[in-house]
Structure 1
Amino acid sequence: MKHGLAALLAAGTLVMAGCGSTTEPPAKAAPEASASTAQAQVTPQAQGLPVTVRSSDGTDVEVKDASRIVPMTGDVAEIVFALGLADKVVGVDLSAMGLPEARQKPQIGYQRSLAAEGILSLKPTVLIGTEEAGPPPVIEQLKGAGIPIVTVPSGAGGVDEVPGKIELVGKALGVPEKGAELAARTKAEIDAAKAKVTGTDKAKVAFLYLRGQSKTYQLGGAGTRADAMIAAAGAEDAGTAAGVQGYKPITAEAMVKAAPDQILVMSMGLESVGGVDGLLKLPGVAETPAGKNRRIVSLDDLELIGMGPRTGQALDKLVTAFQSR
């Protein structure tokens, strides 16, 4: 493939800036309408309650009422909306605000720094999120208030966890059939995307977590959702190959050691640093093969690492991008 190829897919949700390109993501990373918007038009009745489910933390949780749902993490909120339960959601965390269905909902803060008082004021009948919801003392306080809390896998273990994650959400909220249907469709899309991976010459891809407002610039590695997505798309995670576990601050030394062919970022993160030109000003980025050739791949935040209904669609875009070297 031509080395400076520029690709633009999915109406702005994926941007690959080729050599000399100044392409930037849209001002707002709008999620695709496929799963959540289409499914949200249907509001299934919660006929599967009461139900006892096994949370990913190993506890059995009984859910009797899903009339007032609070998804504590954005990825789970997207699944809940895709199951047609938007009208039952009474609050969402900040990481869900890129979803159209979430924008008019009360906010409960950021998923990792929740406050019990605000959540309790919404009178939820069930709380559901990944293990990233916290901090732990707040979760314990909410449990002490007698509210059922269901924990589901984040998906960091790999894309094959996603269908089970979706099914668990559906079962816990009383719509097991809808959950099974959405999980099956998502699995089919994931399998179809993985089947497009060809060749043994893997692209070396570095995922950079960027939040310009807080000056947070990190290189991802093993154990992250981005690592799982990169691997499933048939590429090599440059951070993992360089020995990074989780995330570490971007340094010139770390970027030179990672030496990525391509750089993967979330759209809002790329926007927060001033687009591709701003990204190239971060330590060491311009000195990498990806930086020299402006090989930047950008996807909507939840689409890329939400490990939810759009995972297969995201993988399909990544496979195309990573193989167009």
Structure 2
Amino acid sequence: MKNRVQSSRLSKPWGFFILSMCAPHRVFGIVAWWAILQCGISSDVVLAFDGEMMKRRQQGILTGMPFMANVAPRTFVDDLGRKLYLSKIPHRIVSLAPSVTEILFAVGLHEEIVGVTEFCDFPPEALTKPKVGYATPNLESIVGLQPQLVLAPKSFLRADLINKLEQLKIPLFILDPQTVEDILAHIQLLGRMVGHSQEANALAALMRKQLSILSDRLVGLPRPSLLYVLNSEPLITVGPGSFIHRLIELAGGRNVADQASAPYPRLTMEEVIRQNPDILLFPVGRQEGISQVEQDSWRRWTTLLAVQQGKLLQIDSNLLNRPGPRIIEGLKHLAKILHPEVSQDDLPN
């Protein structure tokens, strides 16, 4: 996969090659424009290789095309290191992750969002958007929506889909946030990409302020130990390198898997018994929830302090597991579970 992505980055688009070689004369500009159309390359979006961007002087090539005369390409780098050059703000966007959909709505987009996944259920307006699948996105549906930009999580990385989108010249931008700061940075990045920087910067600033105020109030308090159960058999939780691990810390807790070597490690029950967490926390929800039957099965581990004290608790998976604007709500819920004595009433909204 890595080699395939790298090779696609290094393939110089023919339309770009023609433009870069043409002299700044009108006749050559017309020829170059015709060549681009024949190649099927979008004038709005160009997936770029690791080379020079089109220089401003080359904008004069298309003097017969007024709408191209003042193009100022913007460069963006996704979480795979792939470069994307946007000459225009995209007005037809497909989101392949609920978290991305929430970000786009939160920074002020609506009509520009032309396709979402089956699990994009927030805000309510997302439910009205055309659906393109989720774990196995429907390529025909995506293409039929004529997107100018497709935003996808790293889990979308299927070679056949990536290759097909590249063949069709549909720009794909991959997001893979690992930390809380990554989430905030992605909000600002997407804001720049879609022409809503002001709204995105304001949202990120508010979230940073809320994070800071709440975490400051928890400094010096005891840190109850917590096991966040993503899956019971095999037992999977969160560890260092995941944004959820950091949220547990910010909420004033101690993750029992804080010494794990992976962001989503597997644990043995022997390790859980040794750690003896104060709280067992289960995500609940349609997409990534733990069933009540599975939660109740933990009650058989009667030596665990959490079981003895009835601390088998739940949290909305959409608030904690989605790396988007609502992680602040997830943090508040976590803090209330870990430190119910700490007030949250005057946090800025």
Q: Distance in 1 between matches of 2:287 and 2:139?
A: 32
CA drift of 1:245 comes to: 2.6
Percent identical among aligned pairs is: 23
For the pair shown, which has the larger CA radius of gyration, 1 or 2?
2
3-state secondary structure, aligned to 1:309:
coil
The residue number in structure 2 matching 1:229 is: 247
Q: TM-score, normalised by structure 1?
A: 0.72
Bigger mean CA deviation after superposition, 173-182 or 56-65: 56-65
Alignment match, 1:264 = 281
- Mapping of residues 144-293 of structure 1, within 5 Å: 144-154=167-177, 156-157=178-179, 159-199=180-220, 201-210=222-231, 218-241=236-259, 243=260, 245-247=262-264, 252-268=269-285, 273-275=290-292, 278-282=294-298, 287-293=303-309
Distance 2:118 2:274 in 1: 34
Instruction: Give the structure, 1 or 2, with the largest relative contact order (CA under 8 Å, sep 6 or more).
Output: 1
Give matches, 1:301-312, under 5 Å: 301-312=317-328
Equivalent position amino acid for 2:249 in 1: A
CA distance in 2 between partners of 1:170 and 1:270 (Å): 26
TM-score, normalization: structure 2?
0.67
The answer to whether the 8 Å contact 2:289/2:317 transfers is no
Change (3 A) 1:244 1:167: same
Q: Secondary structure at the match of 1:75?
A: helix
Given candidates 103, 114, 122, the residue that maps to 1:79 is 103
User: Mind listing any 5+ residue stretches in structure 2 that lack a counterpart?
Assistant: 1-70, 342-349
| Runs of 5+ consecutive residues of structure 1 not aligned to the other structure | 1-47
Using the alignment, how far apart are the partners of 2:165 and 2:275 within structure 1? 42
Q: What is the letter of the counterpart of residue 185 of structure 2?
A: G
Structure 1 residue 67 displacement after superposition: 1.7
Name the CA shift for 1:57/1:249 in 2 (closer, same or farther; >3 Å).
Answer: closer
1:1-40 map, 5 Å: none
Residues in 2 aligned to 1:251 and 1:94: alpha-carbon distance in whole angstroms: 34
Separation in 2, partners of 1:83, 1:227: 26
Distance 1:72 1:270 in 2: 14
Amino acid at match of 1:295: K
What root-mean-square deviation, in Å, do the aligned CA atoms of Structure 1 and Structure 2 show?
Answer: 3.0
Q: Shift in Å at residue 132 of structure 1? A: 3.0
* 1:295 correspondence with 2:311: yes
Q: Which has the higher strand share?
A: 1
The 8 Å contact of residues 238 and 245 in structure 2, kept in 1 or not, is answered as yes
The one-letter amino acid paired with 2:156 is: A
**Helix, strand or coil: the match of 1:253?**
helix
| Number of residue pairs the alignment of both structures matches | 270
> Does the CA contact (< 8 Å) of 1:131 and 1:152 recur in 2?
yes
Q: Which amino acid aligns with 1:314?
A: G
The DSSP-based 3-state class of the residue aligned with 2:151 is: strand
